[in-house]
Chains A and B, each alone.
Chain A
């Protein structure tokens, strides 16, 4: 599909917009619809679009399988790590009240970190699954 100039140019224009929108949805999940899951899927959609138009080897050059495996585990580790951190600070597991100087700040910080972990893992898993299916040609 990379021979088609219209597809090439339009993809190169829209991929940064999609990535920016994914980050907007991630960080504005507190104030409107959105959050980690939606943002992760939209982030992965940008990479999938790149892979559909330019081929899976191009995607593999941008984000190598080793980095993908690292990111998959990193998001989950971040989420679980926030829980361990709150336990070390004296509260229960995933009790965000202990994270800041007062409960409201702690909740904000906890939700921010947790949604970030969710977004990272979901994006990495979706890109991984797409590369696994698309890379398996007959």
Chain B
């Protein structure tokens, strides 16, 4: 078993986060972090640290089936101590498949990774977020790293090597890939909600809140005054004690003072953020993160920062 810690994701941004995790573990075991690039034509995708380009031939080289097989073959040669895969849907499949092919343990969607040289441990949320579980596997092992739990790696690129894994007979064939358009989502099932309150001065201004929601891949909601009193939005959008009870992963209250009637509808949210010009607004007591400021400036700033992050 070599002391290499491999990092991989089909998504560039997630790959960079995974590399940070790999660097941490590599340090812990006095080893080296290596970024895997599968079937990459140029190493330009990630220019940080040591890279290993895995090349093979297959009909659909982006498919997790090909990626798993390619990485498994490369791993059989190099025998890395840890293979970290970014926790995307495809990433979970890749990690699971590799772990069966190499008969190694696989930690799923973990953050706060640590290693003592003999094992790899990580933390994951279970039971609908009620429980934090620390799981552990012996080295060599595989793990998917929870997306967003590590900051992206930064630094200069160092050496690049390449390994040929030959032909891969894939069983499935990718016919098409369609990027999703912005979709309207049912609030009760929504994972991300950006909600507007009385701080919004005109009905037309709802557009900037809705735009932020869409940028985040979420949906618009509102507090009672906007639906019941002003009629700017139908009752279906009203979140609160006498409206909807929502349980998104992220709830952002924009220009909402945070009366208990509204807060009652959001208490099951995983993370609550708030934007309000009034530092004393009750919403800040009901939020995990509060930004004190004018929504007409903060919301566009958020929008700008998010879209440039994506590029």
A-B complex is real: no
**Chain B positions near chain A (C-beta within 8 angstroms):** none
**Chain A positions near chain B (C-beta within 8 angstroms):** none
